[in-house]
Amino acid sequence: MSESKNSSMIDRKMMIRALKDSFIKLSPKTQIENLVMFLVYVSAILTTALFFLSLFGIQDAPSGYILGITIILWFTVLFANFAEAIAEGRGKAQADSLRSAKKDVTAHKIPSIDSKEKVEEISSALLKKGDIVIVKAGEQIPADGEVLEGAASVDESAITGESAPVVREAGGDRSAVTGGTTVISDWLVIEVTNEAGESFLDKMIAMVEGSSRKKTPNEIALQIFLIALTIIFILVTVSLYTYSLFSANQAGIKNPTSITSLIALLVCLAPTTIGALLSSIGIAGMSRLNQANVLAMSGRAIEAAGDVDILMLDKTGTITLGNRQASEFIPVDGHTVEELADAAQLSSLPDETPEGRSVVVLAKEKFGIRERNLNELNMKFVPFTASTRMSGVDVKGIEIRKGAADSIKNYVQDHSEIYSKECEEIVKQIANKGGTPLVVTKDHVVLGVIYLKDIIKTGVKEKFADLRKMGIKTIMITGDNPLTAAAIAAEAGVDDFLAEATPEGKLSMIRDFQAKGHLVAMTGDGTNDAPALAQADVAVAMNTGTQAAKEAGNMVDLDSSPTKLIDIVRIGKQLLMTRGSLTTFSIANDLAKYFAIIPALFMGLYPELSALNIMRLHSASSAIFSAIIYNALVIIALIPLALKGVKYREVSAGKLLSRNLLIYGLGGIITPFIFVKLIDVIIVATGLV
């Protein structure tokens, strides 16, 4: 209940801020950034001037009519400002939350790793790139950096929202730390990697606020198209006024088409709907990405995600669960599966690796063999080593071992020349399937094989099928040998794979695809991923990864979830789908309004045009008034769709285009006829015109 109340309060604050910002954005400097809406802004100023002139007897049209048009035009500008402000609101709220996490703290600077006792206390704001600090349990990390020494649990909830602590340690791919996070156990020696004001948190605040958001190439191209349409409609409107003036003079009557009406007509015909919502669509797309805990370092990256047609994904943690698990016990030479399962479980009881635990669980679930107490059985554990490549237990004078096939073979043959031929065949079969065979022996006799396999994540195959429908090719990247990689790729349903992947191999593959005109996305977390991330069009670095990976990527996944790349592509495509849908609706709207209004506007000059007034609008004034009201209200009506985005569908571009034309194209044509007529009936009935 309190959460709901808190959420409604946040929404209320966002609404109040958005309303305030709507008026602040009336500044000419802000308005000129959107040339289509700047036209409406200038039109509102002109009709305001015409209204004041009408008060002094210089009447272009009745004062009440001019005032009504003026008010609606100002509301149209404010509605467009409100759409942008409400889209920015969520980002600003998130930025305020992040800013509260960013504060100056006392940093414990040391001269070098070897001089931890010589601590100098300085403000974190004075730290420079290359400085070395030591951070102990309970202290806040003062700046972004790389761990040089130590390992500790770090609370990153201020950045990621995730309450569970994460481990940061020297070396490997989990060495990067973020300023503003807190060490909750042990200690870390950190080298500062960013100057004050240039930290990851600073960049994140700027991005979520929208203050550093730049228009993307597609957005710029669409704006140029909208401006071109607007110029055409300006020429059409000027031509209509000139033609109207000429026709009125020829007929010897006063020109019935006022400047106010033509200004309103121009606003109705110009693509103001998409012009008003274009910026909010882009900001909302970035906001949806922020809600998914992904920081985009540029708007271009989000847009590129929508156009991606090659997706390169790590196998481990993305396609598979990350640890191989026991899936089957295969006995050999007449031994029973129960005997094999019992020995396998005994050898794995002291084994705390994920693979070892999975053997214990499989024996328990399939055969009801309960776990036994190591101390009660007086077992002696033989640990795994790199040289022996096997482990096991000695219990009651019996030796039980499990390990790699070649190691077990040598172990058995050291005590006997006989080795199971059936076991060798099964080992080959498992290897050909991409699995890992573990051979189990009891007193130097082979009992059978444990089949360890990479467990494909639930639903991954279906996701790849959906991506294929959208024309996206999926490529699995793995360090496994080609045989294993091929088996896993087939089971997961990916289109291709890169086996025995090296940094050079990844980079070469990305370049080859780009040379053929493809847009490539990939994810990575290590320093060895940095070259490929820098080359990819959409490069998602893990927040847990190295500083080099984060700097090379154009997005950072704060949750460090390798599968997030699929969600990023979905959000990017949804942004493009939303923009395309609303553009289709807006242009169809303009065409419909043109054919609905023009006959009514010129019926005074040409009574024959009444035959084309299929909506039977009451008069030229009511037609213009109805259309300009509809034009303002449709912006407000479409704000929720612009912010939420159209429903995401995994279909091809051709099907998507057909759907857009049917729903938003046809809808854009029909809607004005219905609502302009409805508004016309209401304003005539209420005597407004």
Percent of the chain with pLDDT over 70: 85
Summary mean pLDDT of the chain: 82
Residue 351 annotated as binding site:
yes
131 is in an annotated binding site: no
Confidence of residue 385 (pLDDT cuts 50, 70, 90): confident
Is the predicted pLDDT of residue 541 greater than 80, yes or no? yes
pLDDT of residue 564: 79
The first and second tokens of residue 289, run together, are: 């990405």
CB distance 91 to 280 below 8 Å: no
Query: Which range (235-249, 329-343, 568-582, 647-661) has the least confidence?
Result: 647-661
| Closest alpha carbon to 293 in 536, 100, 98, 530 | 98
User: Residue 426: pLDDT above 90?
Assistant: yes
Report in angstroms the alpha-carbon separations of 540 from 20, 147, 524, 553, 566: 36, 22, 7, 6, 11
Question: Taking a C-beta distance cutoff of 8 angstroms, is the pair 207, 296 a contact?
Answer: yes
Q: Is domain 294-319+457-558 classified as CATH 3.60.21.10?
A: no
- The residue among 688 and 537 whose pLDDT is bigger is 537
Domain 106-198 is found in CATH 2.70.150.10: yes
178 or 196, which is more confident:
178
The string of pLDDT tens digits covering residues 455-506 is 777 778 888 888 888 788 999 888 777 877 888 888 888 999 988 888 888 8
pLDDT score of 207: 60
CATH number of 321-455: 3.40.1110.10
pLDDT at 5: 38
Active-site residue, from 131, 155, 314, 454: 314
388 annotated as ligand-binding: yes
342 labelled catalytic: no
User: What is the arithmetic mean of pLDDT over 317-323?
Assistant: 69
Inter-residue contact 671 to 679 (CB < 8 Å): no
For the stretch 202-245, pLDDT in tens is: 766 666 565 445 666 777 888 888 889 889 888 888 887 787 77
Percent of the chain with pLDDT over 90: 18
Domain 321-455 in the same topology as domain 106-198: no
pLDDT digits (tens, 9 = 90+) for 261-302: 889 888 988 899 998 988 888 888 877 887 788 887 766 788
Q: Has 549 been labeled as part of a binding site? A: no
Q: How confident is the model at residue 1 (pLDDT cuts 50, 70, 90)?
A: very low
pLDDT of residue 413 exceeding 90, the answer is no
Instruction: Say how far apart CA 287 and CA 285 lie, in whole Å.
Output: 5
The torsion angles phi and psi of 154, rounded to 5 degrees, stand at -125, 130
Is residue 256 over pLDDT 70?
Answer: no
β strands within 332-396, DSSP E = 380-382, 390-395
Amino acid 604: pLDDT: 64
Quote the pLDDT of residue 160: 62
- pLDDT tier at 174 (50, 70, 90 boundaries)? confident
Report in angstroms the alpha-carbon separations of 112 from 108, 118, 190. 12, 9, 10
**C-alpha radius of gyration, the chain, whole number:** 34
Q: Is 21 annotated as a binding-site member?
A: no
At residue 4, the pLDDT reads 41
Distances (CA, A) of 646 to 30, 640, 663: 28, 10, 11
In this prediction, residues 635-643 reach a mean pLDDT of 90
Give this prediction's pTM: 0.67
> At 163, is the pLDDT very low, low, confident or very high (cuts 50, 70, 90)?
low
The answer, yes or no, to whether residue 162 has pLDDT greater than 60, is no
Return the pLDDT at 40.
93
Mean pLDDT throughout 51-58? 86
- Residue ranges of domains in the chain: 12-93+209-290+570-686, 106-198, 294-319+457-558, 321-455
Query: What pLDDT does residue 378 have?
Result: 77
Closest to 172 (Cα-Cα) out of 501, 561, 533, 545: 545
On the question of pLDDT at 614 being above 80, the answer is: no
Question: In the prediction, which pLDDT does 344 show?
Answer: 92
Task: Tell whether residue 529 is among the known ligand binding residues.
Answer: yes
